Amino acid sequence: MVAPVVSHIMGTLALLGILVTIVAVFLGVQLVVHLSIQRVRLAEIAESVARELVELASVHTLGGSGVSVMCLTVPSEVYGQGYVVELGDLGNGRMVVRVRLQTYQVVRVVVVPNFGQSEIRAINGRVRVTELRTDISPVLLMPPPSGAGRPALVAVTQGDVVYLGFAVIGGG
């Protein structure tokens, strides 16, 4: 009498083990697909910011104004998650745009065309721009707080150097 009960228990445990293994494999595949989709979306955001950065640098150096602003056309979230966009200098007129979530980072290197005489650099730290009544920095946290305004790229000329950074403008 004990033998059939033990065999049924062993068979049930084997079936549960197989079920747990199948569910784990399915969840693992789903996670890999989800992360690869997020990686593609982050790459698109990095490339979009890089294009807008090149455009703003070109317009600003040719126009010769003290401050230029370009609103960014990026999503506020990536599949329900906020993200961070960062600017950095690589030297020799090159800048890097980094876009990251908590788990992934996508890096795009941008060669900034400079049609004027000014050197173009990423802003280092937070700097107050009195013309805009806001601060610019090399880091943009998305999404901006509700009612804070729109994310923008800002170019500021100081001497012979044009500094590029992010700001949130137009809020109430």
What residues does each domain of the chain span? Answer: 33-170
Distances (CA, A) of 120 to 9, 14, 93, 161: 72, 65, 6, 6
Closest CA to 93 of 53, 46, 34: 53
Contact 52, 153 (CB under 8 A): yes
Distance, CA of 36 to CA of 42 (rounded, Å): 10
Label the pairing between strands 161-170 and 119-122. Answer: parallel
Predicted confidence pLDDT, tens digits, the chain (172 residues): 567 788 889 999 999 999 999 999 999 999 888 888 888 888 889 899 988 998 888 888 887 678 889 999 899 888 888 899 999 888 777 888 989 886 677 777 777 766 667 788 888 888 888 888 888 999 998 888 777 789 999 999 888 888 899 999 876 5
Dihedral sign computed on CA atoms, order 117, 121, 127, 129: positive
Label the pairing between strands 139-142 and 83-91. Answer: antiparallel
